[in-house]
Amino acid sequence: MNNFKPTFFNNVDNIAGEHDSFRINIDYDGNLVLLTEKEEKGNYLHKVFHFVNGETRIIEIPSVSYSFDFAQPIEENWLLVSSRTDDDEGLINNATIYDIQGNALDTFSFGDAIADVQTTKKSDIWVSYFDESTDYSLSCFNKQGVLTFDFNDFVRLSNNEVPYIDDCYALNVASEETVYIYYYSDFPLVKIEKNNYEIFNNIPVEGSNAFAILNNFVLFNNGYDEEGKIHLYSMENNSLKSFDLLNLKGEILNYGNSVGRGSKFFFKKDKDLYLLNLEDFLKSI
């Protein structure tokens, strides 16, 4: 088995101090976004840590009664989104835009069962959904929360050539114009570019939930029943090469969560964060 050592990025405790939980996201420039949460008297305090050019920018969000799962920049402000809505608890609007002082500017609903949220420089908001969603599978909203793209309509316009999404396992908004998705049940990789699309079937990886992409190469994280592995797939010749990820000690890095966007990949092992740039990875193998 081939192996590769990603770059150690940082430890969350060194960055964030006291917190109960955290999530990692990537912005449209490939920068890490760390969202921490601390429960206090039944409410939740969140902080956003944005890592740009060696600088850490911190946004503190006032106490709210629900938990946020995703944080993305939107112009000079921040979009925070909860994965679920809860009619019984009155949580219908699960997306809020905050300014950098933590003031809420706007709120709206993206629907229930959100799997991922990724914004673009032009303030397009791409949202993917897992299989408990009854309304959407992949959507795009503008910064006012108005729906501008619905994947189910897109499928119908393709004369059903593009397969429907049962569960969107992975989303990668690679640029303003180009979005890639990988999804259940047959796990195609689909490239969406404005009104055009390209379908890559028979991907030899099933169950991955994040990927990085550069030119004709896609780097997937663990598939089903795997630990500590990454898989390099060539869209040009439909070939696959697998690698073990190693930590600083040369041991298998059995990472937990990982996120990919564009050519960047961040891996989480406990509270240690690791960075893999696909461009550098391809040069090294």
DSSP 134-167: SS-SEEEE-TTS-EEEEHHHHHHHTTT-SPPPSE
Range of the domain at 48: 2-284
Q: How many CB atoms lie within 10 A of CB 1?
A: 7
CA angle 252, 185, 166 (to 5 degrees): 115
CATH number for 75: 2.120.10.30
- Nearest C-alpha neighbor of 13 from the set 54, 49, 44: 49
Residues 86-117: b if buried by 16+ CB within 10 A, e if exposed: eeeeebeebbbbbeeeeeeeeebebbbbbbbb
Alpha-carbon gap, residue 67 to 80, rounded angstroms: 10
Give the mean model confidence (pLDDT) for residues 24-50. 98
Other Cβ atoms closer than 10 A to 201? 11
Residue 248 to residue 173: CA distance in whole angstroms = 30
> In the chain, how many domains are there?
1
Nearest to 25 by CA among 46, 4, 3: 46
Question: pLDDT of 219-272, one tens digit each?
Answer: 999 999 999 999 999 999 999 999 999 999 999 999 999 999 999 999 999 999
Q: Could you tell me what percent of the chain has a pLDDT over 90?
A: 96
C-alpha–C-alpha distance, residues 187 and 182, integer Å? 6
Residue 194's pLDDT band, with cuts at 50, 70 and 90, is confident
pTM of the entire structure? 0.97
Q: Rounded to the nearest 5°, which phi and psi values hold at 12? A: -60, -35
pLDDT digits (tens, 9 = 90+) for 38-84: 999 999 999 999 999 999 999 999 999 999 999 999 999 999 999 99
Query: What's the pLDDT at 88?
Result: 66
159: left (phi over 0), alpha (psi -120 to 50) or beta: left
Q: Is 155 left (phi over 0), alpha (psi -120 to 50) or beta?
A: alpha
Angle (nearest 5°) at CA 179 between 173 and 182: 95
